[in-house]
């Protein structure tokens, strides 16, 4: 009886975790460049059940069964894995602002081993000079003339240095080349590419941290040999979140029903145990 109680409890906890992931996706549905998280529910390791039949032999004082009859397997519950970002391309929105940049991933190759498409990101610098990545291209120009994120993090060029554009009168080429108002071309955006974007970890403020093998960390488009694959940046546009509102709401309702079903199972166990204690135990 208690094994089923634990199984239902694990189901409630797993559905609660999935609901948290979906709620976070819904809250960021209007955040530029936001990538939705996908959660996967998995079962705990299954137990193999066998029946021990009598009539065996005795070896060293221990009686061994004559045979073991295979009955089946028993799962002991479920759990929800950590949310994994989905790097599918979001819809593009025309803003007309020169500081708004959208990343284009349609021309990126697909990894033949994983079947997944790689991802390209902007590189930014934290106040402690650590490098982070973002797909939110809604930038601005600070008082010193540097291109920054809305939070004030410097956008980096091909040499991993801050980009100084001096004013909003600049243009960005399809490959990330920066042309200033006077026609000078002395910078290019550091467009980082990785074949396995699932190794990114979200850190808040729409920033991504590389958590995979340092030897496989994102490299520039040029080093990856993708400089001529197609346009990678579109100026005057922002990439919207890839959250599907209709699908997210449907998944939230389904998760709620799963939580409710497990809750009813626990209530049924509670009534059964109450009856066992107050009625059967009295006989």
Residue 109, pLDDT above cutoff 80:
no
Band the pLDDT of 235: cuts 50, 70, 90. Answer: very high
Above 60 in pLDDT, residue 189? yes
Q: How far apart are CA 132 and CA 9, in angstroms?
A: 38
pLDDT of 269 reads 85
Percent of the chain residues topping a pLDDT of 90: 45
Domain residue limits, the chain: 2-29+41-80+244-282, 87-239
What's the average model confidence in pLDDT over 168-186? 89
Q: Kindly state the average pLDDT of the residues 108-132.
A: 86
Residues paired with 141 in a beta bridge: 147
Distance, CA of 269 to CA of 27 (rounded, Å): 36
- pTM, 2 dp: 0.79
CB 158, CB 220: distance < 8 Å: yes
Angle between helices 2-27 and 245-278 (to 10 degrees): 160
Phi, psi of 43 (to 5 degrees): -85, 150
């Amino acid at each position: 009886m208690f094994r089923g109680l634990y199984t239902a409890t694990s189901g409630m906890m797993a559905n609660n975790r999935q609901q948290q992931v979906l709620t976070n996706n819904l809250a960021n549905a209007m955040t530029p460049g936001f990538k939705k998280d996908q959660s996967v529910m998995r079962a705990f390791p299954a137990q193999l059940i066998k029946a021990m039949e009598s009539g065996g032999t005795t070896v060293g004082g221990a009686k061994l069964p004559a045979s073991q009859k295979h009955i089946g397997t028993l799962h002991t519950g479920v759990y929800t894995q950590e949310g994994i970002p989905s790097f599918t391309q979001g819809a593009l929105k025309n803003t007309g602002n020169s500081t708004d940049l959208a990343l284009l991933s349609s021309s990126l190759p697909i990894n033949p081993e994983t079947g997944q498409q790689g991802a390209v990101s902007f590189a930014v610098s934290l106040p402690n000079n650590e490098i982070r990545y973002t797909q939110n291209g809604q930038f601005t120009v600070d008082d010193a003339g540097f291109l920054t994120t809305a939070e004030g993090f410097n956008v980096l060029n091909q040499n991993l240095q801050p980009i100084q554009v001096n004013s909003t009168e600049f243009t960005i080429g399809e490959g990330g080349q920066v042309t200033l108002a006077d026609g000078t071309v002395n910078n290019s955006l550091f467009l980082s590419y990785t074949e396995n974007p699932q190794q990114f970890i979200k850190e808040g403020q729409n920033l991504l941290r590389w958590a995979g093998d340092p030897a496989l960390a994102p490299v520039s488009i040029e080093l990856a040999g993708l400089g001529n694959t197609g346009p990678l940046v579109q100026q005057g546009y922002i990439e919207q979140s890839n959250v599907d509102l209709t699908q997210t709401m449907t998944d939230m309702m389904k998760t709620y029903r799963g939580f409710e079903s497990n809750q009813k199972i626990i209530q049924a166990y509670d009534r059964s145990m109450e009856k066992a204690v107050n009625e059967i135990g009295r006989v």
